[in-house]
Amino acid sequence: MQKITMKSFYHLLIAVTLLMISSFSANAEQEEEDHVKWWREARYGMFIHWGLYSVAGGEWEGKDYGKEQGGASAEWLMNSVPIPGAKYRKKLAPKFNPTDFDAEEWVSIAKDSGMKYMVITSKHHDGFSLFDTEYSDYEVMDATPFKRDIIKELSEECAKQGIKFGVYYSQFKDWYHRSRGKTKGTMTNKEYLAFVEGQLDELLSNYGEMTVLWFDVGGSNVVEADSQGARVRELQPDCVICSRLYSRQVPVDKQIYADFNSLPDRMLPSQRMQEDSETCMTMRHNWGYDKNDDAWKSSKDIVEFLALCASRGVNLLLNVGPDPQGNILPEEKKRLKEVGEWMRVNGDSIYGTTSSPVDYDFWWGSITQKENKLFLHVLEWKPEGIEFNGIIGEPEKVYFLADEKKEALSVSYDSEDKVTKIQVPKDMPDYRDTVIVAEYSSDIEVDSETKGEYYWYTTRSKRHTKVKSNKHAGNTKNLHAVKEAR
């Protein structure tokens, strides 16, 4: 038997220690990856803006301050007018009595539309809380005749129906409570920060699993933001945290608690994203309920947003702004139902997909990928054939995703130019988005020399760089009043 010397024992001890450190590090990275995995695969969620501002519907003392009139947005009413906190509360809180509110119906609408998670404004910039809190009486239980904990009812219903639940929380901007500079609220800045910490503790402790914490309009004080992010990690380690915990001026490498990059409001990414990202989108101009906003996007618009977001590696968080009585609007229900119908047939091309293998899209649309399958999202039809370049090799089989029989479409491949062409019928099977599946017999290989351009939503309101109009889509441009205000 070989004798173990002190020197060899020392080397063995170092080797075991290094192995343990390496294993711990790998496990930590795996845990970090796993807590965002569900969110990354979900791709589609519901955003809800609802509060006292819904009672006003964008109007104050006979004047319209909504987005369609060039204002900020209906939920910014308190700041847009501006209205003193006490007056805002006195006029609106007694009228907030949404007796039509039905958590089961709301969650069912989201689920039927194919949404995998829900995020609701627990406290917006006006400082009013939709949940039972001991840190202020400016909340739904004490200040309104409704006296029901909306966050509790929705969180419980989401758990029942298998939808992930999260909250929006305005941590930095609070026009009612926070005193900053010349702005005087009901609390000093120090008191306000303690108030935020207390409310975060309540939200993270009293409502079951909190899967998303959607902070907004973060400040540049990184210490303050880190403290709030750390509290989320401590109480709900698996909660996915929005980058708006921090100001956009804070360097990305300093945003240590941000799990995903929240893109600017109503903006699709102009190209493929390299980091986990999400875009939040309205169905019309305003986030909160507005009486006069009739600039509705179509169901085709929304399906296109879904496809383009997924092809660029981004989630879509689609907003509804319920009315003061607690109803999701008929126009919202109609669009969500139509998107749900499309998702039930084509969801495999959205859920769990990765971005396009090529860093460009095509005149006709875009591509998502899942393992050895490419999903071609055809948004504009080309009866002469659907072509794409950049992928090496001919697909083993090509078919419409909606075709249960998976009848093969005729396909050809130009090996010199790396161009694949698919023969299609004269008429577009689904005007919203016809999905074609291209299956390959092995891993998909990209031509490193491939080149292309982006055609779709290269700016916030321009749907396509070449196609001037589509009768079913494109209602995304700002009204004249909005342009004038800018």
Encoded tokens for 76:
């910014």
To which CATH superfamily is domain 365-446 assigned? Golgi alpha-mannosidase II (2.60.40.1180)
Query: 294 Cβ partners below 8 Å, 6+ apart?
Result: 68, 284
Average of per-residue pLDDT values in the chain: 92
Task: Find the range with the poorest average confidence among 14-28, 117-131, 407-421, 432-446.
Answer: 14-28
Q: Residues 276, 261: contact at Cβ < 8 Å?
A: yes
Report the pLDDT value the prediction gives residue 207, as an integer from 0 to 100. 98
**pLDDT tens digit string along 143-199?**
999 999 999 999 999 999 999 999 999 999 999 999 987 778 999 999 999 999 999
Mean local confidence (pLDDT), 388-411: 97
Question: pLDDT at residue 7 above 70?
Answer: no
Encoded tokens for 303:
């399906």
Residue 240's pLDDT band, with cuts at 50, 70 and 90, is very high
**pLDDT tens digit string along 352-368?**
999 999 999 999 999 99
Report the pLDDT value the prediction gives residue 299, as an integer from 0 to 100. 97
**pLDDT tens digit string along 61-74?**
999 998 877 778 99
Q: Do domains 43-349 and 365-446 have the same CATH topology?
A: no
How many residues comprise the chain?
486
Residue 4's pLDDT band, with cuts at 50, 70 and 90, is low
Encoded tokens for 276:
């986990």
Question: pLDDT at residue 482 above 50?
Answer: no
| CATH class assigned to 43-349 | alpha beta
Mean local confidence (pLDDT), 76-89: 96
Task: Find the range with the poorest average confidence among 88-102, 224-238, 460-474.
Answer: 460-474
Four-point Cα dihedral 49, 288, 42, 455, nearest 10: -160
The owner of tokens 């910014």 is 76
Which comes out higher in pLDDT, residue 31 or 112?
Answer: 112
% pLDDT > 90, the chain: 86
Report the pLDDT value the prediction gives residue 476, as an integer from 0 to 100. 62
Q: Residues 81, 353: contact at Cβ < 8 Å?
A: no
Mean local confidence (pLDDT), 89-116: 98
Task: Find the range with the poorest average confidence among 129-143, 178-192, 242-256.
Answer: 178-192
Cis peptide leading into residue 324 (ω within 30°): no
**pLDDT tens digit string along 276-304?**
999 999 999 999 999 999 999 999 999 99
Domain ranges of the chain: 1-41, 43-349, 365-446
Question: pLDDT at residue 126 above 80?
Answer: yes
Question: pLDDT at residue 480 above 80?
Answer: no
Which comes out higher in pLDDT, residue 33 or 340?
Answer: 340
